[in-house]
Amino acid sequence: MMEAKTYPEFSSRYPLLLTTFMKRPLGLYPDDIGIVYRNDGGEYFRFTWRQWYERTCQLAHALKELGIKPGKPGEPGDRVATMALNHHRHLELCYAPTCIGAVAHPINMRLSLDHMVHTITHSGDKVIFVDDLILPLVEMIYDKIKSTVKMFVFMSDRPGKPQTKIEPLYEYEELIKNQPKEFDWPYLSEDTPAVLYYTTGTTGLPKGITFNHRQLYLQSVHLIAGLQMTPRLPDDPKDPVINIPLVNIPLFHIHAWGAPWYYVFTCCKIVFPSRFSPESFCELVEREKVTSTAVVPTMLAMLLEYPDFKKYDLSSLTNIVAGGAALPFGLKAKAEKAFPGLTAGSGYGMSETAAGVLSSTIKRYMVDWSKEALDQVRVKTGLPSMGIEAQVIGEDGKPVPHDNQTMGEIVLRGHWIMEQYFNDPEKTAAAWRDGWFHTGDAAKVDTDGYTIIADRITDVIRSGAEMVPTVLLENLTANHDSVLEATFVGIPDEKWGERPMALIKLVPGADAKEEDIWKFLEEEGIAKGKITRWMMPDFIGFYDDIPKTSVGKYDKIAIRKRLDEFLQKAKKMTG
């Protein structure tokens, strides 16, 4: 009997590759506009999916000519780094390196210079693609990275190369223009490393994390499936025929929380603003009829401060996801008042999880709840995404009761949780214990099963024998009509060890006093059982600028370093 030759590599073992995502729009909508890019000068650039795919093929050929080598499972290929804003070239640089087997490394340009140098030298970047606006930054660190980086590629909307000490320096458009517009993409192992991300280094040097094709593929399809399974409310707006997302989150932040993967796979019309500003945001939403976007809470606050905000028609925008930091209920309410028909929600993720792993989706039995009740759900940290296991465990290593009170640490496992830190076995061993990835985030779980983040374990204020969760205080304070942003830190206290201090940025034009905030916390917090009197701040201060990290979270390390300065402007509350 003849034995038939089988092809498991093209059937049961067909690899889960980002190449599949890249090719999909070309087969479905080759002549539709797929990419819209507005640069900082207000110029627009539009590309069909065919044009974008052909440019990505040309870039792949150019990378091969530059000597970029592929990797294999357990051995990352050459690292192809980017120091770039959000535009079509950066999207091409998400796919061409990964789909030839190399590793895409978006460098966080908001890190300190020393931390940037560390990420480049630690990763061993072979080439850096750099924007014209970013070139001066590279010149500042060039002497510290030139022995690691073998070549640089200059990107600009204008032709030509600048005068610079950086060498060798190629020009992007010249590099790709004569290359073939087709490429024979390899069938890689799905376990081939595809991307390298670094943490923001708030507790030490940034740590590197690689994710392979399989992880990013599964993350994207699980996310898409999860969105389709979310219960719809009777008054929800109709789903648009085509989703038009505005990618505000910088691509150098874990590739804008995975935007290049699921937006290309779903053939959206992707809108890039170069970098976020309230003006470009409003112009692009109105002009391109943007339907969805993701922001950090700081961006929402900036939009609400923008004096020309009401001059634009933003009615097409019906879905905003807030991440990077907890979404205060007060800020959510202010945003929904400003955006007619908008529903804003929150989620949770980190570099080690390639972004989102929890989201504040509602459950089926909640569809008839009041808007007020649903709003309370949507600002919670949320439920585990499909494909993710999540628990909140106490110091005994057991899950905490779902009582909305008992605090523990969020632990995770699943398809796209990082396996290990790049070249750092010690930190890997500290993070992975008993089969769970330990996030370092303190949280509780309510009776409906929603995780509610309380703090970074390192940020909890320890006052006497009590732990004061700052996120709870921040969310409550942000409900005040005059408060735009609020954060809390612990200040040294001889008797109690630490006591809370509130740092507040007011809504423009607001004339609230410190006593107004205190009274609000008493009436809305203590009287309603949300906080205890023990949690009331000893000091309240109003500030125009509260330090934040590169991802928009409150930078409590920077605040503590300047604590004397902030205390001088704060008012002691006697209660």
pLDDT tens digits, residue range 380-438? Answer: 889 999 999 999 999 899 999 999 989 899 999 999 999 999 999 999 999 999 999 99
Residue type, 274: S
Beta strands in 75-168 (DSSP E): 79-83, 103-106, 127-131, 151-155
Euclidean distance between CA atoms 359 and 353, whole angstroms: 13
CA 201 to chain centre: 15
Euclidean distance between CA atoms 179 and 168, whole angstroms: 20
Closest by Cα among 495, 488, 396, 390 to 445: 390
Residue range 463-572, CATH number = 3.30.300.30
pLDDT in tens, the chain (575 residues): 678 999 998 999 999 999 999 999 999 999 999 999 999 999 999 999 999 999 999 999 999 999 999 999 999 999 999 999 999 999 999 999 999 999 999 999 888 888 899 999 999 999 999 999 999 999 999 999 999 999 999 999 999 999 999 999 999 999 999 999 999 999 999 999 999 999 876 557 889 999 999 999 999 999 999 888 888 888 887 888 999 999 999 999 999 999 999 999 999 999 999 999 999 999 999 999 999 999 888 788 889 889 999 899 999 998 888 776 667 777 888 888 888 777 777 788 889 999 889 998 999 999 999 988 998 898 888 999 999 999 999 989 999 999 998 989 999 999 999 999 999 999 999 999 999 999 988 899 999 999 998 766 667 676 655 567 787 788 889 889 999 999 999 888 766 778 899 999 998 888 899 999 999 999 988 888 778 788 899 999 999 989 987 667 788 888 988 999 999 999 999 75
| Six token digits for residue 547 | 């330090």
Euclidean distance between CA atoms 308 and 502, whole angstroms: 30
| Six token digits for residue 44 | 């627009």
Q: What is the pLDDT of residue 326?
A: 66
| Six token digits for residue 5 | 């030759």
Q: What is the pLDDT of residue 513?
A: 93
Q: What is the pLDDT of residue 150?
A: 98
Residue 467 bridge partners (DSSP): 462
| Contact assessment for residue 169 and residue 161, using Cβ atoms and an 8 Å cutoff | yes
DSSP H helices in 167-315:
172-176, 213-228, 254-265, 278-288, 297-305
Q: What is the pLDDT of residue 200?
A: 78
Describe the crossing of helices 18-28 and 49-65 by its angle, rounded to 10 degrees: 140
Q: What is the pLDDT of residue 569?
A: 92
Residue 434: strand, helix, or coil: coil
CA dihedral 272, 193, 382, 559 (to 10 degrees): -70
Residue 349 bridge partners (DSSP): 356
State the number of CA atoms in the 13 A half-sphere of 497 facing the CB. 9
State the number of CA atoms in the 13 A half-sphere of 500 facing the CB. 27
Sign, CA dihedral 425-427-431-434, equals positive
CA 134 to chain centre: 21
Describe the crossing of helices 254-265 and 213-228 by its angle, rounded to 10 degrees: 70
| Contact assessment for residue 326 and residue 475, using Cβ atoms and an 8 Å cutoff | yes
In the chain, ranges of CATH 3.30.300.30 domains: 463-572
Euclidean distance between CA atoms 492 and 161, whole angstroms: 54
Q: What is the pLDDT of residue 550?
A: 67
How do 151-155 and 127-131 pair as beta strands? parallel
Euclidean distance between CA atoms 476 and 521, whole angstroms: 7
In the chain, ranges of CATH 3.40.50.12780 domains: 13-212, 276-456
Residue type, 1: M
Residue 19: strand, helix, or coil: helix
* Domain 13-212 in this protein, CATH class: alpha beta
Q: What is the pLDDT of residue 400?
A: 96
- The CATH H-level superfamily of 276-456 is ANL, N-terminal domain (3.40.50.12780)
| Contact assessment for residue 486 and residue 477, using Cβ atoms and an 8 Å cutoff | yes
| Contact assessment for residue 131 and residue 84, using Cβ atoms and an 8 Å cutoff | yes
Burial 179-201 (b: 16+ CB within 10 A, else e): beeebebeebbbebbbbbbbbbb
Residue 399 bridge partners (DSSP): 393
| Contact assessment for residue 78 and residue 122, using Cβ atoms and an 8 Å cutoff | no
| Contact assessment for residue 546 and residue 562, using Cβ atoms and an 8 Å cutoff | no
Euclidean distance between CA atoms 153 and 167, whole angstroms: 9
Euclidean distance between CA atoms 558 and 203, whole angstroms: 11
| Six token digits for residue 552 | 């928009």
Which residues, at least 6 apart from 172, have a Cβ–Cβ distance to it below 8 Å?
A: 89, 129, 153, 154, 155, 156
State the number of CA atoms in the 13 A half-sphere of 274 facing the CB. 19
State the CB neighbour count (10 A cutoff) for residue 50.
16
